[in-house]
Amino acid sequence: MHAPTRRDLLLTAGAAALLPPFAARMNASAHLPVAKPDDIGIDAKRLKVAYDLLDKWTAGKESPVPGGAILVGRRGKVLPPHFAGRQGPEPDAPPIRKDGLFLMASITKPVVYTAAMILVERGELNLTDRVTRYVPEFKANGKENTLVGHLFTHTSGLPDMLDNNADLRKKHAPIQTFLDAASKETTPLFKPGTKLSYQSMGTAVVAEIVQRLAKQTVAEFLKKEIFDPLGLKSTALGSKGFDRDRLVRVEVPPYQANTVPKGEPLAGSPKPPPDFSWNSKYWQELGAPWGGLFSTPEDFAVICQLMLGGGTVGGVRLLAPATVRLMTTNRLNDYADLPEGVRRTQPWGLGWRMNHPGTPESWGDLLDRNVFGHTGATGTTVWMDPKADGFCVLLTTALRERAPWRLVQLSNAVAASFV
């Protein structure tokens, strides 16, 4: 064989440059490399404290936590996820599946905001514009001065949920009905930029902005622009296309229980409301941009590493470093009318929340305020620590509001294992 000429090498290099990323060429999931604890600065004995706690809380048919998983990563690599418990809250539910898809709940929000930031990078969206530039009907009920950035930082004054949220779910309303109502029917609780109040409907409006600019549904945009480039085959907004047997069922709040009151005879009793709980096919497939994401620990670890890596992971760049810095640092200081105490002790980035040390909303006593992440009502927490170059994915299926301290104790044990 003759030695390759310079022309041969140039042609080969040019062809390689035209190829899609490795994960796309192989049509395979691009999970992070698996390492041993010592190789990435994790004390295995200390981490086992977290595993043992989850095992204890999920043991038995009447356990306080039906099931869960813990995945810890550091320095671009991960440890194998630790699974425990059952696939659902039912006492006879089978063991949790290793390929189980968890309802991430409000951890969906920063992923949707990431989609919007992609449009910011492309020059299609400005955070300092009024929302009405993109959604003219948003001006209803005195919202005409709300900026897009207020929707990212929970300073918009929008309510967390629609007044008729439960009624819409009982009627199995399509997702567009919720998005339209978030824009047209909501009334602000305060002047934008003057207070902080968690608002799922702000995320709904951002999703509508994404849809109008991208001319596709927010679920389609997430798949095309984030999940597919990263090779995430077990992550989607809504469960359509997934085997429902993989979906990990969660505890639901009382208003979603959908049962005839105890002791009431079935004959002649009122007809139970339509099925709309978090475990219903309707809700699972709805794809609510404020809480309908499904994912696995391994898949979501890639998103965590994307943020820790300044917008790049596995050779794929989705975001510019400047974008990641803005998303993961306190943006509340940008609003002069926001009380100083709020700006200092309850920091928010753009979509991602910063840790709140010294408050009941802290994710862990050993986590600094530079740590960013999010929580979900279904018992989920993810956090990323830039200083430690590490992250943690805690996915449980017990209502967070009933015992938020459990996730804090798990976080403390995980953080203590970083050496």
pLDDT tens per residue across span 319-343: 999 999 999 999 999 999 999 999 9
pLDDT at position 274, please?
53
- Here the tokens at position 145 are 């001065």
96 part of a folded domain: yes
pLDDT at position 258, please?
58
Least reliable range by pLDDT among 155-164, 250-259, 269-278, 405-414: 269-278
Q: Specify the 3-state DSSP secondary structure of 372.
A: strand
- Digit-coded pLDDT (tens) for 56-77: 999 998 899 999 999 999 999 9
Does the pLDDT at position 3 exceed 60?
A: no
pLDDT at position 271, please?
53
127 part of a folded domain: no
pLDDT band for 29, please (50, 70, 90 cuts). low
In this structure, the number of other CB atoms found within 10 A of the CB of residue 313 comes to 23
133 part of a folded domain: no
In this structure, the number of other CB atoms found within 10 A of the CB of residue 5 comes to 9
- Domain harbouring 294, CATH code: 3.40.710.10
Per mean pLDDT, which of 23-32, 144-153, 272-281 is the most reliable?
144-153
225 part of a folded domain: yes
411 part of a folded domain: yes
- Here the tokens at position 220 are 């389609």
State the Cα–Cα distance between residues 75 and 413, nearest whole angstrom: 19
Does the pLDDT at position 5 exceed 90?
A: no
pLDDT band for 317, please (50, 70, 90 cuts). very high
Instruction: Specify the residue for token string 């919007």.
Output: 116
180 part of a folded domain: no
- Residue 410's φ and ψ, nearest 5 degrees, are -65, -45
Expressed as residue numbers, the domain containing 101 is 37-108+217-253+275-416
Least reliable range by pLDDT among 3-7, 171-175, 205-209, 217-221: 3-7
According to DSSP H, which parts of 259-346 are helical?
281-286, 297-308, 321-327, 340-345
Query: 290 with 110: CB under 8 angstroms?
Result: no
79 part of a folded domain: yes
Best CA proximity match to 172, nearest among 290, 112, 103, 258? 258
pLDDT band for 281, please (50, 70, 90 cuts). very high
Average pLDDT (165-191) is 97
pLDDT mean across residues, the chain: 91
Ranges of beta strands (E only) in 185-270 are: 236-237
Positive/negative CA dihedral, 279, 372, 411, 364: negative
Least reliable range by pLDDT among 20-29, 161-170, 203-212, 321-330: 20-29
Query: 394 with 411: CB under 8 angstroms?
Result: yes
31 part of a folded domain: no
Does the pLDDT at position 414 exceed 80?
A: yes
Does the pLDDT at position 268 exceed 60?
A: no
Best CA proximity match to 112, nearest among 367, 292, 308, 335? 292
- Digit-coded pLDDT (tens) for 353-377: 999 999 999 999 999 999 999 999 9
Ranges of beta strands (E only) in 121-178 are: none
**Residues facing residue 418 across a β-bridge:** 42
Positive/negative CA dihedral, 77, 367, 194, 400: positive
Average pLDDT (156-166) is 97
In this structure, the number of other CB atoms found within 10 A of the CB of residue 357 comes to 16
- Digit-coded pLDDT (tens) for 99-132: 999 999 999 999 999 999 999 999 999 999 999 9
pLDDT at position 12, please?
40
Look at the chain and report how many structural domains it folds into: 1
pLDDT at position 257, please?
75
Average pLDDT (202-218) is 98
pLDDT at position 23, please?
39
Query: 40 with 74: CB under 8 angstroms?
Result: yes
Question: What percentage of the chain reaches a pLDDT higher than 70?
Answer: 89
3-state helix, strand, coil in the chain (%, to 5): 40, 15, 50
